[in-house]
């Protein structure tokens, strides 16, 4: 299923029921998230992974995206 379908469906439902939904979405979101991450771990556990390579790749991606964002903001944004 395309990911846009549940997202757009959710936005429409949320917008239509915006005055009726008083409860915060935090708890259902957290519960769904924890299950999802567990299942993701199960999928990942079945694949052979080089832990060091994974750590280095994650660190490089995180650092480069942060530095890239800072660079563009400093260069391109004027108040």
Q: How far apart are CA 36 and CA 69, in angstroms?
A: 29
Question: How many of the chain's residues bind another protein (CB under 8 A)?
Answer: 62
Angle at 37 (CA atoms; ends 31, 43), nearest 5 degrees: 140
Of residues 4-63, those binding another protein (CB under 8 A): 4, 6-18, 21, 25, 28-30, 32-47, 49, 54-55, 57-63
Rounded to 10 degrees, the C-alpha dihedral 4/7/62/25 comes to: -170
The least CB distance from residue 52 to another protein, in Å, is 12
List residues near another protein by CB under 8 A.
1-4, 6-18, 21, 25, 28-30, 32-47, 49, 54-55, 57-74, 76-77, 79
């Amino acid at each position: 299923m395309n990911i846009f379908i549940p997202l757009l469906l959710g936005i429409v439902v949320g917008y239509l029921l915006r005055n009726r939904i008083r409860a915060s979405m935090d708890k259902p979101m957290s519960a769904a998230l924890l299950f999802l991450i567990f299942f993701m771990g199960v999928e990942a556990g079945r694949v052979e992974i080089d832990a060091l390579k994974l750590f280095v790749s994650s660190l490089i991606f995180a650092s480069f995206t942060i530095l890239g964002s800072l660079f563009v903001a400093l260069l391109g944004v004027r108040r």
